[in-house]
Structure 1
Amino acid sequence: MDQHFIVMMIPHHDGAIAMADLALSRATRPEIKELARSIKNSQTSENAQMRAWYRQWFGQPVPNWNQGTRLGRTGGAGGGMGMGQMGGGTDLTALSTAPDFDRAFIEQMIPHHQMGVRMATMAQANSQHQELRLLQQAMVKAQSQEIEQMRQWYRSWYGSP
């Protein structure tokens, strides 16, 4: 389970990092830029930690997402990231050209984070490594808080949930 989780979560995080990179250059609201910085920093750090654990626990580097199984999922990749499947509808191309970037970012990041929360929540029950369970718990907490913050902004800025 730990091996599978890491192989799936790293590219999922890569999708959020790519979205955050776009937000750092395209967002107009400082709140979105600050959230993007936080997502980029935390998920880059989490990816590095998971890569180190994978090498330590399984004796090899994390396989490239394109070499791994896609679990029968299909969907648009968006920017060649291979993330459409795991991102809850993430489409980097549409996001990069969205007329209201901040709104599109929230509309894509909430379901992306929801998928990450589901992945980490399900994996905790069967994780063999305590340190990975703790990281999964931290992911659930941080991303759940970010989802709630984005929902509040969305209601405040656009008037609907």
Structure 2
Amino acid sequence: MNNNMNNTTSGLIGFIIGLLAGILLVPYLYGPSMMGGWGMMEGWNIMGDRGGIMSQNIDQHFIVQMIPHHEGAIEMAKVALERSERAEIRSLAEGIIEAQQKEINDMSTWYETWFGATPPRGGMGMMQMGGMEGDIDALRLVPAEDFDREFILQMIPHHEMAIVMAQMLAASTERPEMKQLADNIITSQSREIDMMRSWLGSWYGN
């Protein structure tokens, strides 16, 4: 009797934890960025179609979503190289371009090897892609004195989104290459978030 009650209690606790996790992730998966914002890429909802994020196609789905997400970060970083005068921001931008372009190349190669095709280009959906392009265009128009702050305020939530995606991947994938990729994204982008937050504090008192 006690064992049955314990099992029931454990199952209920697990269900509640899972439900709360889903609720907590919703703002990350669908919330706007700091400037006009793009939501989470189509298909990464908790109860998504085709079995959602826990499906056997997690690796394929992740690659299709992460490549355009990385491309967005690279475009933002290129704008920073054009506009920022701070060595710290320029160094960060160079690191983002180098690391994320390599990851795009790796993911493209894996996709072709594992799934026999090049990654499709519609991963983000038209609305999300349009929102990202709008944010990048807006970043180009920010007054020079405000640029670094706005760049940071856009890049932090963009990194946070990538970390959420990578955490989901790490919990689901069985491929060592994808586990290593997830770990790299979580480690490197968490470190960059910490740097950007410290700059907000020291430069702007935020």
The answer to whether the superposition gives a TM-score over 0.5 is yes
Gaps of 5+ in 1: 85-89
Residue by residue over 1:36-59, the C-alpha shift from the partner in whole angstroms, topping out at 9 and shown as x without a partner, is 000000000000000000000001
Aligned to 1:77: 130
Asked if 1:152 corresponds to 2:198, the answer is: yes
Aligned to 1:87: none
Give the partner amino acid of 1:152: S
CA contact (8 A) 1:76 1:91 kept: no
For this pair of structures, how many residues does the alignment match? Answer: 147
Give the CA deviation at 1:94. Answer: 1.2
Q: State the superposition RMSD in angstroms.
A: 1.7
Give the CA deviation at 1:75. Answer: 4.9
Give the CA deviation at 1:74. Answer: 4.5
In structure 1, C-alpha distance between the alignment counterparts of 2:184 and 2:156, rounded to whole Å: 17
CA contact (8 A) 1:95 1:101 kept: yes
In structure 2, C-alpha distance between the alignment counterparts of 1:126 and 1:58, rounded to whole Å: 18
**Match among 110, 113, 137 for residue 93 of structure 1:** 137
Change in 2 beyond 3 A, CA 1:126/1:41: same
Gaps of 5+ in 2: 1-57
**Match among 47, 52, 76 for residue 19 of structure 1:** 76
Asked if 1:117 corresponds to 2:163, the answer is: yes
Asked if 1:9 corresponds to 2:66, the answer is: yes
Q: Secondary structure at the match of 1:64?
A: coil
**Match among 50, 60, 63 for residue 107 of structure 2:** 50
List structure 1 segments (4+ residues) > 4 angstroms apart after TM superposition: 73-76
TM-score (norm 2): 0.68
Change in 2 beyond 3 A, CA 1:18/1:156: same
